[in-house]
Amino acid sequence: MKKIVFASSNKSEWGGSEYLWYRTALIFSEKGYDVLVTVPRWKKIPEEILRLKSGNIPLYFNTDTSAYKKIFNRMLPSSMQFDYRNDGNKCIREFSPDLTVINQGGNTGGADLMEYCSENGIKFATITQAANEAKWPDESLNKKLSAFLPKAEMNYYVSRANLKLTEIQIGQKIENAKIIYNPFNVNYDNCIKYPEVTENYLIANVARHEFYAKGQDILFRVLNEKKWRERNLTVSLYGKGEHTYQLKKLRDFFGLEKVIIRGHTDTEEIWKENHALILTSRYEGLPLALVEAMLCGRTSIVTDVSGNREVLTDGRNGFLAEFPAPEKVDEALERAWSERHRWKEIGENAREDIKKIIPADPPGYFFNELISLV
């Protein structure tokens, strides 16, 4: 029986970047493969992980290490301290897999595990979920990525822009690379009706509450302008995150009465109500919120970062802000507003176009990709 490991290196928390490997792992298990999963011990362990643990897929926490090493390291000089970076990865070597799939929330988090697999003769592939122009690898990371990305069976990226940026950040071509797509949370062939416009046009911001990544502060600064305050436009923010408190506080600071913070809501329910999507992200991979809005036939106004341009054509199926700054978002939103009578038509273009790019079953597509590597 073939063996495969799925290892997450994203230490922050469970999120959208984890669902591709998670659902693909379930497919491998259902197909009779021997599967092992290793993840960081997040502060909150999600139900999905607990389901793996209670099923037939062994679960290990790759951030666990022996307490005595940590205690002794506090007392020992740096030259004598224990290196316990790979303590949590020993389960992989003992499992002796035919392939280890390393999932990265960004584009550098799996470097140590790549090195570990390479040193122990373990075949591996990587997934890169995002890349950030403001966060570059230091010398040590650069050397590791340069050495071990070429040794991967394949390096998967969720957008060509993320692949290109990673190449620039390490100063090296990544020949063994392919583009894949994350699973979405709407019916691929949904027929969600475009909502009638009654008193206000309704725009949704569907994103984690993280200013440094999702740029809700940029959106608020635009909506604070007099012209937007006076127009029949309501913006609802869906989601949650580490900045939820700050988000509410900033909304109140600006006194944005037509900005509503909704929290987590079923995706299809969002698009039964809203006419358009707005994302003011500073960096991305390829945002699921954009893919889902397009599949639901909605116009999108987004910043031209990462993979957004790869699925959105300005003026045909949405609107691109040149870069994440208030004046550029205002400009794109103004163009969208002038075309609001066409939002339904533009959304229909979006639905047609995204289906030419995104497969109906991304985990199934990824499963078939990995089969050739196992």
Q: Is residue 340 part of a domain?
A: yes
Report which of 132, 181, 171, 133 is spatially closest to residue 149, judged by C-alpha positions. Answer: 171
Residues in the chain: 374
Q: Is residue 191 part of a domain?
A: no
CATH (domain of 87): 3.40.50.2000
**Same domain (yes/no): 143, 210:** no
The pLDDT, as a whole number, for residue 46 is 86
The pLDDT, as a whole number, for residue 82 is 43
DSSP annotation of 100 = E
**Same domain (yes/no): 237, 98:** no
**Same domain (yes/no): 165, 78:** yes
**Same domain (yes/no): 312, 174:** no
Phi-psi region of 293 (alpha: psi -120 to 50; beta: other; left: phi over 0): alpha
Task: Give the C-alpha separation, 213 to 131, whole Å.
Answer: 11
**Same domain (yes/no): 103, 245:** no
**Same domain (yes/no): 280, 228:** yes
**Same domain (yes/no): 111, 144:** yes
Q: Which residue has the tokens 């900045």?
A: 243
What backbone phi and psi angles, to 5 degrees, belong to 62? -80, 0
DSSP for 122-133, written as a single string:
--EEEEE----T
- Asked if 318 contacts 300 with a C-beta cutoff of 8 angstroms, the reply is yes
Q: Is residue 283 part of a domain?
A: yes
Taking each continuous run of H as one helix and of E as one strand, the counts in the chain are: 17, 13
Q: Is residue 284 part of a domain?
A: yes
DSSP annotation of 186 = S
What backbone phi and psi angles, to 5 degrees, belong to 46? -70, 160
Task: Give the C-alpha separation, 125 to 103, whole Å.
Answer: 9
Which DSSP helix (H) or strand (E) runs through 38? Answer: strand 34-39
The pLDDT, as a whole number, for residue 65 is 62
| Sheet of 259-263, strands arranged across | 259-263, 233-238, 201-206, 276-279, 299-303, 319-321
The pLDDT, as a whole number, for residue 67 is 47
60: domain range?
Answer: 3-183+361-371
Task: Give the C-alpha separation, 92 to 100, whole Å.
Answer: 8
pTM for this prediction? 0.91
The pLDDT, as a whole number, for residue 85 is 57
Q: Is residue 57 part of a domain?
A: yes
What is the total count of domains within the chain?
Answer: 2
**Same domain (yes/no): 163, 302:** no
pLDDT in tens, the chain (374 residues): 899 999 999 887 888 899 999 999 999 999 999 999 999 988 888 888 888 876 689 999 877 665 444 444 454 455 544 454 556 688 999 999 999 999 999 999 999 999 999 999 999 999 999 999 999 999 999 999 999 999 999 999 999 999 999 999 999 999 999 999 999 999 999 999 999 999 999 999 999 999 999 999 999 999 999 999 999 999 999 999 999 999 999 999 999 999 999 989 999 999 999 999 999 999 999 999 999 999 999 999 999 999 999 999 999 999 999 999 999 999 999 999 999 999 999 999 999 999 999 999 999 999 999 999 99
